[in-house]
Amino acid sequence: MTKFKIPMYKTTFTKHEAQAAHDTVSKGIIGSREKVKEFEKKFSSYIKAKNCFAVNNGTSALHAALLAVGVKDGDEVIVPSYTFISTANVVLYERAKPVLVDCDARTFNITAEIAEKAITKKTKAIVAVDMAGMPIDYDALNEVAQKHSIPLIADSAESVGAKYKGKVVGSQADIHCFSFFLTKNVSIGEGGMLSTQNNEYAEKIDILRTHGQTKRYEHKIVGYNYRMTDINAAIGIVQLGKVDKMLNEKVKVANKYSKELSKVEGIDVPYIPDYVTRHGWYLYGINVKESSLLGKRWRKEPMGARDAMQKALAAKGIESEEGFKPVHMQDIYKRLYGLND
């Protein structure tokens, strides 16, 4: 395996996370109990959200959010095509239709204008993604959602700790869905969190994640086993305590990249709108203009421009990877929508 001087991801785990896990196991508490409640409380305080619910991963969070707002067979849900596939897949779980829309070329996020054009009488929800840690324009999207009486669900998997207009992301949309996957800003290996200010949604989410159970062995609705364990929560508490320090370091690195790369003709560095107070920097992505000398150089390479650039970066000890393959280019969705290659 190639060892990179500058890797895509470097763990922030220390002996403190290991100790937290050890202490939890030593007490014999490995289910979904006190540590989960503590993690929910601390996360709620951090993002200034009224209700937070821990789940076993980010995909479960997205699915629970759709169920909470009542998405069902035959409904339409607006989803950006440029996202990780789970954002769209959870819509299919309920036999609803993901209405795939394009993203803004500068932010890689959907805009209020894009979302509104896709709304029909069948639209049940708008799911917007904080792509690469960049918050969407929440005020603008909320205005459209409220105008059409459609809930706004934020896929904030990549934006833990990001700030929108001075406030940490997590209380702006009707429901936010976070991920604590291995490479996320708060990492516990696998895990997720939902936040909402709406008490009705909160009640549904709370029982959905535990088999639809209202109290022991009494089940009100069909639910799922989406619970987080205390071991994961214990690690999450430690991780949450260092997220601001870690993100501030990420901002410094990103600013340095932008300063130096902006000097290279043909490269567009990430665009940051004024409403973004702090980018989440899950990823740092660049665009190379095809019309530039640099773009023409890479385009002539037999392996393709992107692969050639990645190979050149790897030779310098810099790890990189291509962005998400858009949902509409995935085989399952090409078959579903009858799209040609």
d(CA 256, CA 118): 38
Q: Name every residue whose Cβ is closer than 8 Å to that of residue 218 and which is 6 or more positions away in sequence.
A: none
Task: Report, as an integer, the average pLDDT of 262-271.
Answer: 90
Calpha distance 169→278 (Å, rounded): 10
Given this model, what pLDDT does residue 1 score? 44
pTM (2 decimals)?
0.94
Give, as one character, the DSSP assignment of residue 107. T
Determine the pLDDT at residue 24: 92
> In the predicted model, is pLDDT for residue 100 greater than 70?
yes
What is the mean pLDDT of the segment spanning 87-98? 97
Instruction: Sort 236 into a burial class: Cβ within 10 Å, 0-12 / 13-18 / 19+.
Output: buried
**In the sheet that 123-129 helps form, which strands lie side by side, from edge to edge?**
51-55, 192-196, 175-179, 152-155, 123-129, 76-80, 97-101
Torsion of CA 122, 124, 129, 135, to 10 degrees: 120
Express each pLDDT in 156-195 by its tens digit: 999 999 999 999 999 999 999 999 999 999 999 999 999 9
Query: 321-332, pLDDT tens digit by residue?
Result: 888 899 999 999
For residues 132-156, average pLDDT:
98
- 133, 283 contact by CB (below 8 A): yes
Which domains are present in the chain? Answer: 15-241 (3.40.640.10)
CA atoms within 13 A of residue 331's CA, in its CB half-sphere: 0
Taking 90 as the threshold, does the pLDDT of residue 10 lie above it?
A: no
If one compares 290 and 245, the residue with the highest pLDDT of the two is 245
- Bridge partners of residue 71, in order along the sequence: none
Neighbours of 262 (CB within 10 A): 12
Cα 161–Cα 165–Cα 170 angle in degrees, nearest 5: 40
Average pLDDT over the chain, rounded to an integer: 92
